[in-house]
Structure 1
Amino acid sequence: MKARIIIGIGLLLAATGILWTLQGLGIVGGSVMSGVTTWAVIGPVVFVVALVIAYIGLRRLRGR
């Protein structure tokens, strides 16, 4: 897979993790996920995994 695609996927997942965290904390409303503690826990986990994915993409990009 191309490094730029991996980086893009990582960044998209990071944004998703942030959104899920904010919804779980009740900061962002209007969803069935709002105020549900489970999403306040899942969100940061997804964010960290996303950062690892983006880092892998960056390493591949620099390795060329």
Structure 2
Amino acid sequence: MLRNSIAQCNVEFVVNEDRKIIGIQVWNKTNAGIKTWQAELTINDLRTIAIKFVELIEQSQRQD
């Protein structure tokens, strides 16, 4: 679901009262525009995803 949200550009920044980016909101919607799924990811969530992604790439390269 996260992949589809990003692929469809269904992403918005979440900001605090100081207009500092504190995360992103992602969602999926039907062709009729009805939201079927939504999530909010914090900066820490995004960092964790990025680190895990890099680990998977490194692991894949070691297997080649």
- Report TM bin, short chain: 0.3 to 0.5
Higher strand share: 2
Q: Which has the higher contact order (CA 8 A, sep 6+)?
A: 1
Larger Rg over CA atoms: 2
Q: TM-score, normalised by structure 2?
A: 0.40
Q: TM-score, normalised by structure 1?
A: 0.40
